[in-house]
Amino acid sequence: MTLITEQSTGAAAPSQVRAAHFGGAGVLRQISVLSGRSLRALRTPALVLPNILEPVLMLTVFSQVFKSVSQTSAFPAGVSYIDYLLPAFLVTGSISAGLKSGVALTTEMNNGIVARFKAMPIHTGSVLIGRSIADTVLNAVNMTVMLIAAALVFGYGPDGGLLGSLGAALVAVVLGWSLGWVFMALSAWVRRPEALQPIGGIVNMVLLFASNAFVPTEGLPGWLGAFAEVNPMSHAITAARDLALGEPALGTVLATLGACVVIVAVTAPLAVRSFRKAT
C-alpha cells in the first residue's frame, strides 16, 4: 500500500534526486576528459600518419630543391642547408597545426557533437581548452618525429645540439598553441571547415614564402626582403633557428614567446565568447 502511494504521488527515489541536482564534473576534470577524447586520434593510424608524413615529405622535397641556396654568398658560412631549413619547418608545421585546431572545431560544430556538449553541464571554455591541449600534444609528437627523421635520414646535426633543437621545437609548439586559439576564434565566426581551410592556407603561404624560411633575407629581392623583415613568421623562425644553431638571442626568443602569450590572452576570451554564441 505504501508503495502504491509513493508511485501515485510521484515521489522521487534518492538516486533521482541526486541526478536532478548533479551539476557536472569540475572544470579541470572536464578539460582532462575532453583532452583525452581528442587524443584518441592517436589510436587511428589513418588519422595520425598523414599528419606525421606530410611535414617529413615536404622537408624531403624542399631540402633537395633549395639545397643550392647554401652555395650563395648570402648564406651563413659553415651551416648545412638541412640545419638551416629544419627549424623553419618546425615553425611552419606548427602554423598548420594551429589551422587544424580550427578546422577540427568547425567540423564538430557541424556534425552535432558540440550540440551534445551544449546539452550537458560542460563549461564552454573546457571544450576549447581540451581541444587546445590535445592538438598541442599531437603537434609535439609531430615535431619529435620530424627531428628524428631529419637526424637519421638527412644528417641533421646543428651546433646547438639536442638542447638547441629541443628549444627550437619548444618555440614552434608554443607558437602552434597560440595560433590554435586564433583559428578556433575564426572557426566560431566562419563555422564551415571548407571556408576556414582556404583562409588559413592563403595566410600560411604568404607568411611562409615571404619570410626567411628558405633563404636569408639578404638573398631576397628588395621589396620582398623588406616584408620578410617585418613578417612575424621570420622572427619566430629566427628564434628557433638561432637556438638550433647554438647562437640564441635571448631577446628574440623571449619576444617570440611573449608575443605568443599575448595572442592567447587576446584571442582565447574572443574564442570562448564567439563559440558560446555560435553554439
Instruction: For residues 113 and 215, give the distance between their C-alpha atoms in angstroms, rounded to a whole number.
Output: 44
Confidence class of residue 48 from pLDDT cuts 50, 70 and 90? low
| Span 126-165, pLDDT tens digits | 888 988 999 999 899 889 989 998 999 889 999 999 999 9
- What's the pLDDT score for residue 219? 80
- Which range is most confident: 77-86, 106-115, 237-246? 237-246
pTM of the model: 0.79
- What's the pLDDT score for residue 42? 64
- What's the pLDDT score for residue 100? 86
Q: What SS3 state is found at 150? A: helix
| Span 20-37, pLDDT tens digits | 444 556 778 888 888 887
Instruction: For residues 266 and 258, give the distance between their C-alpha atoms in angstroms, rounded to a whole number.
Output: 12
Closest CA to 94 of 83, 84, 86: 86
| Span 191-227, pLDDT tens digits | 777 778 888 888 888 888 889 988 888 888 888 889 9
- What's the pLDDT score for residue 215? 86
**The pLDDT of residue 6 is above 50:** no
**What is the C-alpha R_g of the chain?**
23
| Span 230-269, pLDDT tens digits | 898 999 999 999 999 999 888 999 999 999 999 999 999 9
The predicted model gives 167-174 an average pLDDT of: 95
Instruction: For residues 266 and 57, give the distance between their C-alpha atoms in angstroms, rounded to a whole number.
Output: 34
Residue 69 CB contacts under 8 Å (≥ 6 apart), including other chains: 75, 81, 214, 215, 219
Instruction: For residues 99 and 193, give the distance between their C-alpha atoms in angstroms, rounded to a whole number.
Output: 10
CA angle 151–157–159, rounded 5-degree value: 160
- What's the pLDDT score for residue 46? 65
